[in-house]
Structure 1
């Protein structure tokens, strides 16, 4: 479906695209509803314009591997979206996503420069295999309950400055958390940072610490913990 112009399509409910494998440069810029669209065999979606999509509930993207430069900037709901086999999401614009409950991103390894700046809810989001999150903007995230980041190894310059709740967040295998801004976090109950060896320039100002495990952390250069 290379270079297909679908820019006046507004509804794609229950569309079966299950055997489509390539959707490079497809213009879906005016699609607003994609409920239950089967894209389960799509493997490439580079440069797909979805910038007016607002609802992607139950969209099956389970075999998508590449989503580089996909514009999802107006998507507001992504509940139960299966992205479990996505491995690359570099430069993906999700800046207006507000709800990402139960989104499966368990095999995503690269999320460099992903814009999630307006995400407010990330409950039960599985990011357990993410290894790189350099420059990821999560500055307006307020809830990250039960988010699995247990295999994240790099989180350089990640902006979590407005996160208020991080209950049960697993960061137990972090190796680098340089320049991570957690300055407005108020609750970090049961956050596991026990294996983090480097926490350079981490800002934990005004944290209300409850059951925060930092017993095995090796380096706290320039760390600010002001209670």
Structure 2
């Protein structure tokens, strides 16, 4: 969990409202708001291409650069256009080393359940609390030899050092069950012979 961040040059936004946001996006920017540490929210403009690349990964640590000012932030909420491959708006939160934040991280599965068993993931992410500058890429659950009726809950998550779970103890993550074969059956004719008459044979039979 090395401290890695992406540098991103930004500008202060001076125009507000939906019309101003549309103009900003047309000009190649992503409107953004920066929150944190009891300060007044700051309205910013991120370069669209560089901002899109920086925000591809969840919980990506970003260093905003504006003149001589440099500050580390995390994405808090990203609004995407579902019809276009673009970001409409992003909320950012200012972070510092030693400050703990709560983020959602993906769950990685290790191990194989018992033979003739399978499992269903009820969720794919889980909330954890960690140092803002030392966030995990993922957490894991071990499914080795688990059998039907077994459930994986929040306390079963394997966490990196310094990371704590931020879910209730009964937060369900995965369920194990037996593999079931779905019997689709075979088409049979009325006499149960297993042979299904062709359309032509059915037409001929109907004409008799």
Which of the five TM-score ranges fits, normalised by the shorter chain?
under 0.3
Greater fraction of residues in strand = 2
Larger radius of gyration between Structure 1 and Structure 2: 2
TM-score relative to the length of structure 2: 0.28
Greater fraction of residues in helix = 2
Larger RCO (CA within 8 A; separation ≥ 6): 2
TM-score relative to the length of structure 1: 0.26
